[in-house]
Structure 1
């Protein structure tokens, strides 16, 4: 059979019927028209009936409520000079999902940020599933704009504030610092953080799809800046005190030092300097030890500077007066069969003023042992020792005093010449305001006061005045405290030299040198404590290392405060 015949014999399928094809066509056309009708109806519904839905969706993509940063309150000195201010800065952030994936653009960004490209890529990978990551915090507006001008996608800016401290390291420990979020971390910044912190405001803005600001629509809530804090400090005195203290610590190769200057009439702290210190505006390589405000948070055994305070307990009794003579021979004594007390040499018989002039440990020990057992401890406690100073400064030290129970003779004696207790420099200065202020102790204040506090009488006024006179005889040209003399002014003061405690005992060759002074003695204005910690080079006595700092600082301070020089001077021939 031929091929043609086979094809002819094969049955063929009938062609599709015309009615079936027409049906399919009409069906598809109907479905398309139905879909278009439904779509049109939906559009009409949303535009005519339910317009709020589309409006809400559009607003959700373009309208934003942004926070308005509130600047932190300024800290000033008593004369209105700024000590801590907030300056506007820019923080750059990015949406990792929008950042360019290409290495060239990322390299440009890394160089602009001054970071390693691998580190930048690692950070982007870590935040890849989020929509926010900081690129750099607290940049100057000019530096931030240079990066924004690169026009790389996914990079945005955020306005913030950064704390700046014009006085630098001079008052760093007192003021403290804030962290990158402008929250107080140390010092007064921490103590008054809630007061200084502002309340952010809110505004509604219009942004495009890339998050760029198109229009500022309206203010929802104004930002409320933080409160202003006015300190008792006088910045002029603070600079001077810090400069002289730093010079003395460097000259003596000392471990550190502290100076506290208080207004004798109000208890306000006019200057508070510490060494070592740090620059709060650049904390790179910061030594954590320098963060401590040693004047308030650190305590030490004060040594002989306690003798005038202990002597007040004796003068308030009927047994002693300024003319009382105490025999200090033979210059040493042994107590409790284990504790030996010594003077520098045998001073023989000394008046009460003589005991202070010679700084006789034996004289003070004999007086203390002749008083009721807890007389000295009770006096110290009335003077505010062993208790919180109440300044509100974070970590302020209470110090320590023995419990007012039966004390061994060696304890009673050592307390009278400044061992067996611990105080802070601020507590010591506050205690001495009682001598400067006719027996009325004034609490220390770090803030400027509207009016002087009432204080409390802790020493009989007559006794306080007698002590002031005896302390004036201590600071004379022919005494061991002669380096504390302030030309043109009468000074009442006391030196102290104390072994540093270590491991339950005392370091043999480590000392603290102290000087506490009141000036002018005729009408006290300033009470100042100077402590030099572990001076090296041979000189370590308070009269050698601390008294010169007192003389320079207080002399300049009295002149800056326009305090007239005393007209009278006390001749050394008048001293007993």
Structure 2
């Protein structure tokens, strides 16, 4: 066929061979878009209806946080309702370190508001850049914290906390102790009653934005339970008297330390407890650990002559002795026993003494001879009955039990020296409890720091013997006794001085002493016991009758007045014994010991 010959093909056959028409292409596109739209609708329905809760929970999990609800620690009051420890609201500043670093230009202003150095703050943040939380400053005052938060630095937040404040400062420091930055008790009664005072923090769920700010409180997980209040037996007024008078005496005598305890003998309630040196519990940082130790319960001393009434208690209880007989020969003040010279300080000796005279003149020889005449087990049991060698049960953290060796191990020389206070150790609180037992007719009460917390006591010696001993101790503060400086105008005082060499290097230091006084007032109807210990006075004097006894009336005069305890010695002074009235008008100074206090008050040889 000629190439010029017309084709016989139909006119539409070439268009069919060229592919789908525009209309078909349009339908295809519309179909695809329709399918995609349907898929999107289905996916949206799945996300927003079918699995809505799942994705909402996932989103919340990224911004939902459980935050603690700070709770106030219980207030500690003294026996009269005066606050001794309170919790004040504070604000702690925290941050998300990476958020703050992302706004580095804001760091200088933040550092200034926090009271820190810009470089130090930046370094601190960089070290914690991978964390979601870091404290910038703990326990700022609300005003100072608000100044920080007002800067609006991304990632910086505030959280309420509480800080403990002690209005009486160092005066009650050793009794109360202190809390740490998380408001947990660390020492003293804050530690002993931490569970009672602390309460239980609450918790709540909150939603935070990407800058860490709380934008919504979702729910309370559990409610906070505030700490319970605590009312102590301590009388803040008597505590201050004891603190100020003891502190002054320590300064005047350049003493290392000192302690004083005041007890209500009928209940065992502790009205005052002071230990020096002390510290400020509001600013614990930087204080010496030794200054934070409550020496009245943790430290022990050899009691010296303050032990003699309990040796005498054994003598009277045995039936071999009465307050006036038999006579004890103390000779010329020197008695060689098992190679040891047991001495009395009285120049020329005391000769024959009644058991009462042994206490009045504080005769080491007399006490030793009485003890040696008794069964060893009986003497040991008597000491134990008065609480020596075991804890008082006060519950104070770190309380020492003192030291008293079992009687079966005593050698005769140890039995003799323990009679006048060497070879055993006691705490000032133990000594106060023992004297309170004598004062309350032989009834021992466990000491307590809680008002109304006293328990029924136990009878450890007969009321008759206890009364006899108190009467015998009245002569110690009368003229001729070793503690005339403990007298209180218009009140009869019973008590005993003590002076003991300090232990050192396996023996005793020659010129270092502990000076003690334990007193009962009013002696005819006992209400209060006070024990004073001055450790290592280095100026002017060291005898208990000169160093510790004078503190007793300065404190107890105020305590008697504050507690409205009536006088029992109006218009007279003791001069010879518990039944003999002497001269002197009410409120006038008592007759003074005419003997030299430094040479006649008591024996101190170990």
Q: Is the pair's TM-score, using the shorter chain for normalization, greater than 0.5?
A: yes
Partner of 1:91: 92
Distance 1:26 1:291 in 2: 91
Partner of 1:524: 526
Q: Secondary structure at the match of 2:328?
A: strand
Assess if the C-alpha contact under 8 Å between 1:490 and 1:520 holds in 2.
Answer: yes
Assess if the C-alpha contact under 8 Å between 2:479 and 2:576 holds in 1.
Answer: no
Partner of 1:3: none
* Offset, 1:119: 2.1
* Offset, 1:141: 0.6
Q: Map residues 339-354 of structure 1 onto 2, 5 A cutoff.
A: 339-344=340-345, 345=347, 346-354=349-357
Distance 2:26 2:246 in 1: 101
Partner of 1:285: 286
Query: Residues 44 and 248 (structure 1 numbering): CA distance in 2 closer, same or farther, change over 3 Å?
Result: same
Query: Residues 49 and 340 (structure 1 numbering): CA distance in 2 closer, same or farther, change over 3 Å?
Result: same
2:386 pairs with one of 383, 386, 407 = 383
Is 1:401–2:367 an aligned residue pair?
Answer: no
Assess if the C-alpha contact under 8 Å between 1:201 and 1:221 holds in 2.
Answer: yes
Query: Residues 544 and 41 (structure 1 numbering): CA distance in 2 closer, same or farther, change over 3 Å?
Result: same
Segment drifting more, 147-156 vs 208-217: 208-217
* Offset, 1:27: 9.4
Partner of 1:254: 255
Partner of 1:427: 430
Distance 1:463 1:432 in 2: 13
Distance 1:536 1:416 in 2: 27
Distance 2:236 2:40 in 1: 75
Q: Map residues 11-90 of structure 1 onto 2, 5 A cutoff.
A: 37-90=38-91
* Offset, 1:340: 2.0
Assess if the C-alpha contact under 8 Å between 2:89 and 2:160 holds in 1.
Answer: yes
Assess if the C-alpha contact under 8 Å between 1:305 and 1:516 holds in 2.
Answer: yes
Partner of 1:564: 566
* Offset, 1:122: 2.1
Segment drifting more, 475-484 vs 221-230: 475-484
| Unpaired stretches in structure 1, ≥5 consecutive residues | 1-16
Partner of 2:321: 320
Q: Secondary structure at the match of 1:528?
A: strand
Query: Residues 396 and 32 (structure 1 numbering): CA distance in 2 closer, same or farther, change over 3 Å?
Result: farther
Q: Residues 368-426 of structure 1: CA distance to partner in whole angstroms, max 9, x if unpaired?
A: 11111233221110111101111111110000101120522210111100000000011
Distance 1:326 1:315 in 2: 14
Q: Secondary structure at the match of 1:44?
A: helix
* Offset, 1:555: 0.8
Query: Residues 349 and 29 (structure 1 numbering): CA distance in 2 closer, same or farther, change over 3 Å?
Result: farther
* Offset, 1:218: 4.4
* Offset, 1:318: 2.4
Assess if the C-alpha contact under 8 Å between 2:155 and 2:213 holds in 1.
Answer: no
Partner of 1:223: 224
Q: Secondary structure at the match of 2:407?
A: coil
* Offset, 1:107: 2.0
Distance 2:533 2:18 in 1: 114
Q: Secondary structure at the match of 2:485?
A: helix
Distance 1:326 1:427 in 2: 29
Segment drifting more, 511-520 vs 198-207: 198-207
* Offset, 1:312: 0.6
Assess if the C-alpha contact under 8 Å between 1:373 and 1:406 holds in 2.
Answer: no
Assess if the C-alpha contact under 8 Å between 1:374 and 1:406 holds in 2.
Answer: no
Q: Residues 464-494 of structure 1: CA distance to partner in whole angstroms, max 9, x if unpaired?
A: 1111111111102443311100111110010
Q: Secondary structure at the match of 2:97?
A: coil
Segment drifting more, 196-205 vs 131-140: 196-205
Q: Secondary structure at the match of 1:98?
A: helix
Distance 2:569 2:528 in 1: 18
* Offset, 1:41: 2.4
* Offset, 1:235: 1.2
Partner of 2:476: 474
* Offset, 1:20: 11
Q: Residues 209-228 of structure 1: CA distance to partner in whole angstroms, max 9, x if unpaired?
A: 32323344544422101122
Distance 1:349 1:167 in 2: 52
Partner of 1:555: 557
Q: Residues 230-266 of structure 1: CA distance to partner in whole angstroms, max 9, x if unpaired?
A: 2111111111111111111111111110000000111
When normalised by structure 1's length, the TM-score is: 0.92
Partner of 1:10: none
Is 1:498–2:471 an aligned residue pair?
Answer: no
Assess if the C-alpha contact under 8 Å between 1:170 and 1:238 holds in 2.
Answer: yes
Distance 2:323 2:331 in 1: 20
Segment drifting more, 403-412 vs 42-51: 42-51
Distance 2:336 2:27 in 1: 125
1:486 pairs with one of 485, 488, 513 = 488
Assess if the C-alpha contact under 8 Å between 2:392 and 2:447 holds in 1.
Answer: yes
Distance 1:465 1:501 in 2: 34
When normalised by structure 2's length, the TM-score is: 0.87
Query: Residues 41 and 317 (structure 1 numbering): CA distance in 2 closer, same or farther, change over 3 Å?
Result: same
Distance 1:205 1:66 in 2: 7
Distance 1:46 1:98 in 2: 31
* Offset, 1:206: 4.3
Is 1:208–2:209 an aligned residue pair?
Answer: yes
Q: Residues 63-87 of structure 1: CA distance to partner in whole angstroms, max 9, x if unpaired?
A: 5443211111111111221111111
Distance 2:131 2:25 in 1: 50
Distance 1:21 1:250 in 2: 115
Q: Map residues 120-519 of structure 1 onto 2, 5 A cutoff.
A: 120-324=121-325, 325-337=327-339, 339-344=340-345, 345=347, 346-449=349-452, 452-519=454-521
Distance 1:45 1:406 in 2: 89
Distance 2:21 2:103 in 1: 54
Q: Secondary structure at the match of 1:378?
A: helix
Distance 2:544 2:32 in 1: 104
RMSD of the TM alignment (CA)? 2.4
* Offset, 1:117: 2.5
* Offset, 1:323: 0.9
